Structure 1
Amino acid sequence: MNAAAQFVSVSQVFGEVTAVDDIDLSIPSGKLTTLLGPSGCGKTTSLRMLAGYTRPTSGRILIDGVDATTTPPEKRGLGMVFQSYALFPHMTVADNVGYGLKLRGVSKADRAARVAESLELVGLEHLASRRPRALSGGQQQRVALARAVAVRPKLLLLDEPLSNLDARLRVQMRAEIRRIQAETGLTVVLVTHDQDEALEMSDEMVLMRAGRIMQQGAPSEVFGAPADRFVADFLGYENFVRTPAGLVTVRPEHVSVVAGAVERGEGLAVEGTVTDVAYRGVDLLITVAARDAEGETRLLSDIRSDGAPHVSPGDRVTVTAPASRLVALAD
């Protein structure tokens, strides 16, 4: 795997706070890598160190195999899109997109050609003469992307770029960013706290917690085999049961609820009491209070409404799941 960028034993300490704790990370060339995790996990600090806005306290950052740890941002050949888009309100869309090219001394003719090419890529060539205030949030997002792509960066860095959009636009822009990455072959690093965003968009997913990398791999690998309880919980497994053999987890959509007791098989079978039934149209969420080998636990089942059992709060039930759906977790 060719690495477009590498973190080698990188740490970042702010006073008494360790934001990034001795990480080693390779960013694969020509792929979309997401840095995923809760607020304060170190993902944005890592992106800022890669961009050159923050210098590591220790360790090295390589870009295309060259040590860029002390290289200023403007010399790294990167493109970046921020949460706020940071468009210049007094400039037209075309001038915004061409701004980075102008700073780099690109000729007027070449600049015009690359601006047109970049706007066509994001489907906004018809809005080249507009000002940012006349654009929707999604269109401003596209302009910021076009500006970053226009400089033909070695890496395109995206810092929570979809967080200011409504839910419908976020879904649309996920597909747009993937399309642009695929058409251009750019190496993209995207920071997000949204697991659905990371799963849908990533070639490589890096899940962080408290400045450390907890798990890294293709989305299907990480989702299918979470390394520990934190990873499983963050990815929405929700059900955790202590068995005599150890800790296991299972996703709500793989859990069934059966009225009364059932014969125990190889899979999961835990008796409990229904505490809540929430109808959501196509599906039904059933919450069950139960006991496992450690004590009290809460189990959640997400069942299609048309096949759901008729249960109510207070009913005694058995929560079941096939052995093939159980994931054993490291303690």
Structure 2
Amino acid sequence: MTPVVQLESVSRAFGRSRDAVAAVSDLDLAVPRGKFTTLLGPSGCGKTTTLRMIAGFVQPTSGRILLEGADATKTPPEKRNIGMVFQSYALFPHMTIIDNVAFGLRARGLAKTEVTARAGEALELVGLSALAGRKPGALSGGQQQRVALARAVAIRPSVLLLDEPLSNLDARLRVQMRAELRRVQRETGLTAILVTHDQDEALELSDHMVILNKGRLEQEGAPRDVFPRPASRFVADFLGYENFPVLPGHGPVAIRPEHVRLLSSGEPEDAGVTLEATVTNVTYQGSHCVVEVNANGLGDGTRLLCAHPGEAPRPGEAVRVLLPAAHLVTLGEDAEAAR
């Protein structure tokens, strides 16, 4: 099946040639049809530039962008049949909600009856039919974001682009809107691409997760494949592994704090690596304590974090730390180091 969006060796640099800064470098990417893809990474990794190139707002310095299998590299944004939801909502404050949703349909010259029907369907999809006659100023932030989503969906785009649309919402509303985004995408079957720096958001929403690092693709795949098997220290660090010891017989590995166990006296050891360690700090986190230790026998000692659910030891106490074999991730060479 032809990908809805395909990037072939796409690069984008900003600035004059001598002082140009590469935002995206030689990026190959295929966006699967009918799936939810996230572009994930820290600030400056190139994810927003990539989204803007797909939208047509930024031209690649080199490479090609294909939409529905056709070269669209130089196609203007208004001819790409792309829906976009911005971080700032970008609603017209003087228009009613229904008129905001209908704006793109009218711009396409559709008949009045079709405009009315499709705008109404889009508002019903996001649960805002009852507010059709209000103006954006009378709506909450979450409601305004749903109007922006309805407007983008109403034109029945080939691909829906979402540029960190939840970042202006409070934590509880962000969680609610994640579910809303996923529901709308599944019900419509749209191909969606979301830019985010939030790993939880990407893990919850993605069918296909793309992690970028300094303009290059670091790793991609389904969240259930990427999360337990990060391909590099960069990916592991970004996904919250936090512990990166170099173990005899294993080399550089990564392990998440919740997988590190403090063994009680006399407790048998499971398969894995057991280290003698000294507690250096304990932080109360409500459901658990984060216990920081320095492990012995690894050169100068290695700092490890353990999310411990029971009564925590005190700083200065000697403990045994188990790194279960099932949760040890052997790290490959970072893409950046390999270049």
> Quick one: structure 1 residues 101 and 329, their matched pair in 2 at CA, closer, same or farther if it must change by over 3 Å?
same
In 2, are the aligned partners of 1:243 and 1:292 still within 8 Å (CA)? no
> Quick one: structure 1 residues 267 and 86, their matched pair in 2 at CA, closer, same or farther if it must change by over 3 Å?
same
Distance between the aligned counterparts of 2:59 and 2:38, measured in 1?
Answer: 21
Report the CA distance between 1:313 and its aligned residue. Answer: 1.1
Q: How many correspondences in the alignment?
A: 328
For the pair 1:2 / 2:6, whether they are aligned, the reply is no
Q: Secondary structure at the match of 2:180?
A: helix
Report the CA distance between 1:277 and its aligned residue. Answer: 1.5
Moved more, 129-138 or 244-253: 244-253
For the pair 1:328 / 2:330, whether they are aligned, the reply is yes
For the pair 1:12 / 2:16, whether they are aligned, the reply is no
Residue pairs, 1:130-279, within 5 angstroms: 130-244=134-248, 245-258=250-263, 266-279=271-284
In 2, are the aligned partners of 1:195 and 1:235 still within 8 Å (CA)? yes
The equivalent residue for 1:39 is 43
Moved more, 235-244 or 187-196: 235-244
Report the CA distance between 1:258 and its aligned residue. Answer: 2.8
2:124 partner amino acid = E
2:318 partner amino acid = R
Distance between the aligned counterparts of 1:87 and 1:292, measured in 2?
Answer: 60
Q: Secondary structure at the match of 1:240?
A: coil
Report the CA distance between 1:250 and its aligned residue. Answer: 1.0
Distance between the aligned counterparts of 1:180 and 1:31, measured in 2?
Answer: 12
Any idea what the Cα deviations from partners look like across 1:262-291, whole Å, max 9, x if unmatched? 887741222222122222222221111235
In 2, are the aligned partners of 1:36 and 1:193 still within 8 Å (CA)? yes
Show structure 2 runs of 5+ residues with no match: 334-339
Show structure 1 runs of 5+ residues with no match: none
Report the CA distance between 1:51 and its aligned residue. Answer: 0.1
Normalized against structure 1, the TM-score is what? 0.95
1:299 partner amino acid = L
Match among 297, 303, 306 for residue 301 of structure 1: 306
Normalized against structure 2, the TM-score is what? 0.93
The equivalent residue for 1:58 is 62
Higher strand share: 1
Q: Secondary structure at the match of 1:224?
A: coil
Distance between the aligned counterparts of 2:324 and 2:247, measured in 1?
Answer: 14
> Quick one: structure 1 residues 8 and 241, their matched pair in 2 at CA, closer, same or farther if it must change by over 3 Å?
same
Q: Could you list the runs of 4 or more consecutive aligned residues of structure 1 that deviate by over 6 angstroms after TM superposition?
A: 260-265
For the pair 1:282 / 2:282, whether they are aligned, the reply is no
Q: Secondary structure at the match of 2:245?
A: strand
Match among 101, 115, 127 for residue 131 of structure 2: 127
Distance between the aligned counterparts of 1:310 and 1:107, measured in 2?
Answer: 68
Any idea what the Cα deviations from partners look like across 1:113-159, whole Å, max 9, x if unmatched? 11110000000000001110110000000000000000000000000
Distance between the aligned counterparts of 2:159 and 2:296, measured in 1?
Answer: 50
2:288 partner amino acid = D
Superposition RMSD on alpha carbons, in Å? Answer: 1.6
- Once the two structures are aligned, what percentage of the paired residues are identical? 62
> Quick one: structure 1 residues 58 and 292, their matched pair in 2 at CA, closer, same or farther if it must change by over 3 Å?
farther
The equivalent residue for 1:312 is 314
